[in-house]
Amino acid sequence: MKAPVDIVVTGAAGQISYSLLFRLAAGELLGADQPIVLRLLEITPALPALRGVVMELNDCAYPLLHKIVVTDQPRIAFAGVDYAFLVGAKPRNQGMLRSDLLQQNAEIFAVQGKALNEVANRNVKVLVTGNPANTNALIAIKNAPDLAPDCFAAMTMLDHTRAVSLLAGKCGVSTTDIKNVTVWGNHSCTQYPDLHHARVKGAEALSLVENDWFVNEFIPTVQYRGAEIIKARGQSSAASAANAAIAHMRTIVHGTADGDWVSMAVASDGSYGIAEGLVFSFPVTVAAGRINIVKGLDINDFSLQRLRNNETELQEEREAIRYLL
């Protein structure tokens, strides 16, 4: 039997984790022969609820679930971890400004970045899901100076899978027939889901769909999908977000398929003129655990304007929390 691998999930009593934890324990990330230790971080008032989740995990008798650690201390949660799902964040309450949310959650990711820096495995792979995800990831990176910035990414995989599914539905094909969709920028309504390089069964996607559909239906549907789900369900997307978190980490573990890429928000290296260091969603390939931004794609004026809008928004977010960097 292999030695167990440590995986931490923050916000472990929340609704995304209620799907994520069970899928991790079933072996969906690392496979059916890899035992895992689940390290679960919550704030103190949520520990009683988390104990209920732990009871349910135990009741599943997962053969791969070697041990569960429950704590409200980041340094205990992150000790020796190989994979970190940073899901926990404060929700936006009614009447709360986006800037208030930014400040409150920023503090969480400063603390967690420092703790990861001190105690995590040096090759840890960190996925920030908690919102505002891009800027939270930036804060974690800056507070973890001994970890390489490419240990960190923010999640735009859900936006990516939403885009893939929508295009597949429009073209009447399987999602596996869709390649090279990109979601650029911020995980916010400003994000730019882009089909200029996308292919459907090898054909250019934009030769198969009307431009009006692309501009006036596809783009806003992906941008506002989260809000639509809240309207319908009364709660934000959870199972699909957990699915995307697993898909993101599986891509880190197994790499991207030949000829395809996925979208991940990573520290910009200046590609496509995006200010260096901003955590920005790019098309990426992954090989041997390394994330590589796809270079050299043609970007027309329509796309460039949308990339710039995202860069500006992320620069404004960065200014608002600069004291934590």
Residues taking part in catalysis: 187
Question: Does residue 129 belong to the site contacting ligand NAX (CB under 6 A)?
Answer: yes
Give the one residue of 29, 41, 81, 279 binding ligand NAX; rule: CB under 6 A: 41
Total binding residues toward ligand NAX, as defined by CB under 6 A: 29
Backbone angles phi, psi at 184, to 5 degrees: -100, 145
Where do the H-state alpha helices sit in the chain? 15-25, 47-59, 74-77, 98-119, 133-142, 157-171, 211-213, 219-223, 225-233, 239-254, 301-320
Give the one residue of 5, 8, 9, 16 binding ligand NAX; rule: CB under 6 A: 16
What is the per-residue DSSP string for 125-171? EEEE-SSSHHHHHHHHHHT-TTS-GGGEEE--HHHHHHHHHHHHHHH
Question: Does residue 236 belong to the site contacting ligand NAX (CB under 6 A)?
Answer: yes
Give the one residue of 6, 7, 9, 11 binding ligand NAX; rule: CB under 6 A: 11
Contact region for ligand NAX (CB under 6 A) — 23-31, 128-136, 287-295, 299-307? Answer: 128-136
Comparison of 43 and 69: residue with beta carbon closer to ligand NAX: 43
Comparison of 171 and 320: residue with beta carbon closer to ligand NAX: 320
Pairing of β 178-179 and β 182-184: unpaired
Question: Does residue 247 belong to the site contacting ligand NAX (CB under 6 A)?
Answer: no
> Nearest distance from residue 89's CB to ligand NAX, in Å?
3
Between the CA atoms of 73, 71, 131 and 148, what dihedral angle is there, to the nearest 10 degrees?
60
DSSP annotation of 185 reads: B
Instruction: State how far the Cα of 231 lies from the Cα of 234, in Å rounded to an integer.
Output: 6
Binding residues for ligand NAX (CB under 6 A): 10-11, 13-17, 41-43, 46, 87-91, 108, 129-131, 133, 155, 158, 187, 226, 236-238, 241
